[in-house]
């Protein structure tokens, strides 16, 4: 294989987002970086199957997710405590967005089932379309939509219990006045 400079640049350009996704899967920066490295090695070894000009980020995300899943299956016992590990990994991160609000949000995110968290991050943070997220996850578009909706509803539930006041009285009042609460 020969590494075309434009392909190499496209791979490098995708790395920051790939890391963010990997951290959201692993919940641990070091493991996430190892996963990204494995992904890059796998991708470059199979670069001939990448069609120049097509969607490099989605291609790399798919490889990374597949690698993570196969590792997940191998280490099922370890991963049964995935939520705990995830929360711990987040706590070990430096004071990134160390605001209380963000800590609560991270904790709530960590409590989501992995499938829902993954779908929410692909669509809500990585900026993939529902169709792309479905292709990355190897499932139907409707499945992604439903996972995203359930994830959002669950986060709203969790966050509303603990930090209603964080959203400010104006927001709460407006929500009630506007009748957007579904009671």
Q: Which of residues 35-74 bind other proteins (CB under 8 A)?
A: 36-37, 40-46, 49-51, 53-59, 62-63, 66-67, 69-70
When binding is defined by CB under 8 A, the residue of 26, 35, 128, 147 that contacts other proteins is 128
**Comparison of 20 and 91: residue with beta carbon closer to other proteins:** 20
Q: How far is the CB of 113 from other proteins (least distance, A)?
A: 15
Q: Identify residues 134-173 at the interface with other proteins (CB under 8 A).
A: 135-136, 138, 145, 148-150, 152-157, 159-160, 167, 171
20 binds other proteins (CB under 8 A): yes
Please, which residues have CB within 8 angstroms of residue 85's CB and are 6 or more apart in sequence? 27, 28, 78, 79
Q: Per rule CB under 8 A, is residue 130 in the interface with other proteins?
A: yes
| Contact flag: residue 120 with other proteins (CB under 8 A) | yes
Span 90-119, contacts to other proteins by CB under 8 A: 96-97, 101-102, 105-106, 109
Interaction mask 74-93, other proteins, x per CB under 8 A: --------------------
Q: Can residue 30 be called a binding residue for other proteins (CB under 8 A)? A: no
Quick one: 107 exposed, middle or buried, by C-beta within 10 A (0-12, 13-18, 19+)?
middle
Establish if 177 lies at the interface with other proteins (CB under 8 A). Answer: no
Least distance to other proteins from the beta carbon of 82, Å?
18
DSSP for residue 95:
S
Q: In terms of C-beta distances under 8 Å and separation of at least 24 residues, what long-range contacts does 109-112 make, across chains too?
A: 109/24, 109/155, 110/27, 110/83, 110/86, 111/83, 111/154, 111/158, 112/151, 112/154, 112/155
User: For the chain, where are the alpha helices, taking DSSP H only?
Assistant: 5-26, 29-45, 56-74, 76-79, 82-91, 100-111, 114-124, 130-137, 141-163, 169-177
């Amino acid at each position: 294989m020969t590494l075309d400079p434009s392909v190499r640049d496209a791979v490098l350009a995708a790395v920051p987002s790939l890391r963010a996704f990997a951290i959201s899967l692993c919940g641990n920066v070091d493991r996430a970086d190892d996963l990204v490295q494995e992904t890059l090695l796998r991708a470059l070894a199979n670069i001939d199957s990448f069609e120049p000009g097509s969607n490099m980020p989605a291609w790399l995300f798919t490889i990374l997710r597949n690698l993570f899943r196969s590792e997940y299956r191998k280490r099922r016992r370890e991963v049964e405590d995935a939520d705990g590990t995830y929360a711990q990994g987040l706590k070990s991160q430096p004071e990134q967005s160390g605001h209380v609000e963000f800590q609560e949000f991270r904790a709530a995110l960590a409590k989501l089932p992995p499938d829902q968290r993954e779908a929410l991050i692909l669509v809500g943070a990585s900026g993939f379309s529902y169709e792309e997220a479905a292709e990355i996850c190897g499932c139907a578009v409707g499945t992604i939509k439903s996972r995203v909706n359930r994830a959002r509803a669950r986060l709203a539930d969790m966050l509303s219990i603990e930090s209603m006041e964080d959203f400010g009285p104006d927001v709460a009042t407006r929500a009630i006045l506007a009748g957007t609460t579904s009671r």
